[in-house]
Structure 1
Amino acid sequence: FYPVKDDQFNQTGVVLVGRTLPSMADILGEMKRDILMILLLTLSFGLVGSFLLARHIKQQMFKLEPHEIVRMLEERTATFHSINEGVIAIDNQHMITIFNEKAKQIFGVTGDVVGRNIWDVLSDTRLPEIIDRAEPVYNEEIHMSGKRIMSSRIPIVMKKKIIGAVAIFQDRTEAAKLAEELTGVKNFVDGLRVQNHEHMNKLHTIAGLIQLGKADQALDLAFQTTEEQEHVTDFLHRVIEHDAVSGLLMSKIRRGKELGIMVEV
């Protein structure tokens, strides 16, 4: 807008100049070539980027298809839960990644514990120290949750970096009790064998003394043998409360007598 004035600077009119603003269609029409070029370049870069990304992801997944990965995960999970040994794995943040059914059965754990801190579930697994030490431990007997456990603990290393640790457990409590009982029985059997051998020697001696007409000496030897046996048996029964240890000591005492060695307890 501009005013029109005369020589005396009085306004005599006004001049209005304008033009029509382009519509969106007009703007797009003028920029059609540029837009097509941008779309073509964007599509080209997108296709190339998608191809490179897909190839990289497939290499990271060992060139496996998604259904193959799902099948492998299901098979691995089923395998971990079906083996007859406890398996526990943690990452380097001490978070549980694997806790199979056998491990739950051994330690009396219920529910899903994957993703929880190992210290909140089991405080005596000694798994975190494997991450700190970066050294494996094989076939070590430890006590966990009141059980005797044979444990192998191994750090998980990927690209020379420790990313976690895995432990394999075997409950040896029942096996240890059975071994102790069998050892005690074996020791008792050995003790009885030696005792039987000793008694046979004593009987032969007593029989020989009787045949020689020395009945008093034979009677004294019989009483002495009986008293010694009763003394040893009574002592072990009264002092030693563990049957396996008692049987072991009795067998050693009898074996010592057989070899002419005095055994003192």
Structure 2
Amino acid sequence: MRRGRLSLAGQAFVWQLVVLALMIAVGTILAVLDARRDHDLAAEMQVRDVSVTVARSPSTLAAVSSPYPSGLLQPTTERIRAATGMDFIVVMAPDRTRYTHTNPDLIGKPFVGSIDGALAGQTLTETFTGTMGPSIRAVTPVYDNGRVVALVAAGVTRAKISTQVASQLPLILGVAAVGLALAALSSFLISRRLRRQTHGLAPDELRALYEHHDAVLHSVHEGLVVFGDQTEAAEVVNDQARTLLDLPDGPVLRADLPISLQQMSGGVVRDETHVTTDRVLLVNQDLVSWEGREIGTVLTIRDHTELRAVLGELDSVRNFAESLRAQAHEAANRLHTVVTMVELGRPDEAVAFATAELQLSQVLIDRLLAAVGDAALAALLLGKVDQAAERGVSLAISEDTALDSTDPLSAHETVTLAGNLIDNAIDAAAGTVDKRVEVSVCHRDGALWVRVADSGPGMSAQMFSRAAERGYTTKSDHAGLGLALVHRLVDRHRGTITTTAAPHSAVIVRIPLRETP
């Protein structure tokens, strides 16, 4: 049981929440600063407008020109201050003497702040700490025939601006709280989805799982191909699968697989044999499901090429043994016949009978051994003759059969080629009236020729083309690999294989000899 380790989803949730909280906190601070800046700008514009309006009022010029400016200006400026929300409106003489002020005790005393710009004819805006504390103020001149006769200052204290900004804090903080709650909810939903997808594993466990997965895929000696549900691209292809199926690097599509694998059914497959150009493969297919739904298929592929070759040799030995058994059985029958004829007092006829049968068998053996330089092929042909005879089929070796070696094929390949063609011919001929098979193997015109004819009905061009596919057969009790193996062998040696239906059904194979340097 894991202790003290957060899953990847948990860590993602915590980090997302921390990052979002920091972003919302920073955003809140920026919102407060932005609100304060907006209030400062608004205050600057307001104090400028108020000071300019008061300075340009005719009553202000009339009042500063009268003997008693304060008595005329103080009530007016206070009404304007209350109406506009200013903290102070000060009308002063050019020498800073105040005519008005929010605090009447300060009337007649000098104004505190910068007035040089206003005396020069400009409207000056500044932040200054005066008698009422830090404030944003504007100072503008009052003209009389182009001469500055007074100054008007209007201002708002920083404390009032801070109060205005503070009044907006509940809204800003409320929006921030809602944003944080939504961010936490979205992070929780994302982490829950991530937890389902990662099965609650911690990052180091996911890393270890990936490393083990990758190591297994590269080290396993079986090919592995995984397809997702309804996808054409493989999600997993290990090195052995690329080797066995001769697949290129990079993404693998179903169309890149051998034809027989592309045509596999979508269900479970057990130990199905597939033939490629160079290999005989044993394929299994399983459906992958999760929580009751299918999420893909897994192909496992094993190389049975060498095993198939050994099985081919075993079949040849078994056929040869069956041939010897048949010959022994037939020899026993003949021996009993000869013994009985001797017991019946007819020795001359017994000798003639035994000699005739011996000569017939010996002639075939001598002719094959003389014509065929490869012992394995000669043994195969002799065995097939006896095997055909047991099924009532006459198998003849044509007179043009002659070759010193099986080049360009190996002995094993020649046995595979000739053995499968002869087996198919015997099967086809066994169901006919004539029950005949003829075999020809020879070197001619720079190529190895193998021709197997039979008295069967033959195959159409379409049927013969389909016979190259793995598993296709016209016989219910055969796996259909014989002709597929023959086609792959012929393709591997850049040969040709054709079929004829008239005057006899025949399969003709031509394998070109290797060019000598």
Please indicate the TM-score interval, normalised by the length of the shorter structure. 0.5 to 0.7
Return 205-214 or 165-174, whichever deviates more. Answer: 205-214
Q: Work out the CA distance in 1 between the residues paired with 2:279 and 2:330.
A: 42
1:196 offset after TM fit, Å?
Answer: 2.9
The one-character-per-residue Cα deviations of 1:219-253 (angstroms, maximum 9, x if unpaired) are: 312321123213554788879x6965752441453
Change (3 A) 1:116 1:126: farther
Q: 1:234 to 1:242 in 2, by over 3 A?
A: closer
TM-score using structure 1 length: 0.67
Evaluate the alpha carbon distance shift between residue 211 and residue 53 of structure 1 in structure 2; reply closer, same or farther with a 3 A threshold: closer
Taking structure 2 as the reference length, the TM-score comes to 0.39
What displacement does 1:204 show? 5.2
* Cα-Cα RMSD: 4.6
Aligned pair count reads 253
Quick one: distance in 2 between partners of 1:186 and 1:104?
35
State the one-letter code of the partner of 1:221: F
Higher RCO (CA < 8 A, seq sep 6+): 1
Give the residue type in structure 1 aligned to 2:389: I
> In the aligned structure 1, how far is the partner of 2:333 from the partner of 2:262?
62
Contact 1:180 1:244 in 2 (8 A): no
Task: Supply the distance in 1 between the matched residues of 2:286 and 2:293 (Cα, whole angstroms).
Answer: 13
> Larger radius of gyration, structure 1 or 2?
2
Partner of 2:187: 50
Contact 2:226–2:236 under 8 Å retained in 1? yes
Residue in structure 1 matched with residue 258 of structure 2 by the alignment:
124
Aligned residue number for residue 65 of structure 1? 202
Q: 1:56 to 1:203 in 2, by over 3 A?
A: closer
Residue number in structure 2 paired with 1:221: 353
Name the aligned partner's letter for residue 216 of structure 1.
Answer: D
Q: Does 1:247 align with 2:383?
A: yes
Residue type of the partner of 2:305?
Answer: T
1:96 pairs with 2:223: no
Identify the residue that residue 303 of structure 2 maps to in structure 1: 171
Rounded Cα–Cα distance in structure 1 between residues aligned with 2:213 and 2:182: 39
Structure 2 CA distance for aligned equivalents of residues 245 and 162 of structure 1: 52
Question: Which string of whole-angstrom CA distances, capped at 9 and with x for unpartnered residues, describes residues 82-134 of structure 1?
Answer: 44422112334422221123323323457xx4x613257x342656666xx75
Shift, 1:29, TM fit: 5.5
| Contact 2:223–2:241 (Cα < 8 Å) also in 1 | yes
Tell me how far apart the structure 2 counterparts of residues 180 and 89 of structure 1 sit (CA, whole Å).
Answer: 32
1:101 is matched by which residue type in structure 2? D
Deviation at 1:157, TM superposition (A): 5.1
Percent identity, please: 23
Q: Measure, in 1, the Cα distance between the counterparts of 2:262 and 2:352.
A: 69
Determine which structure has the larger helix proportion and give its number.
Answer: 1
CA contact (8 A) 1:184 1:248 kept: no
Q: Alpha-carbon deviations, 1:31-70, whole Å to 9, x = none? A: 4454444444444444454344434422332232222233
5+ unaligned residues in a row in structure 1: which ranges?
Answer: 257-262
Amino acid across the alignment from 1:141: T
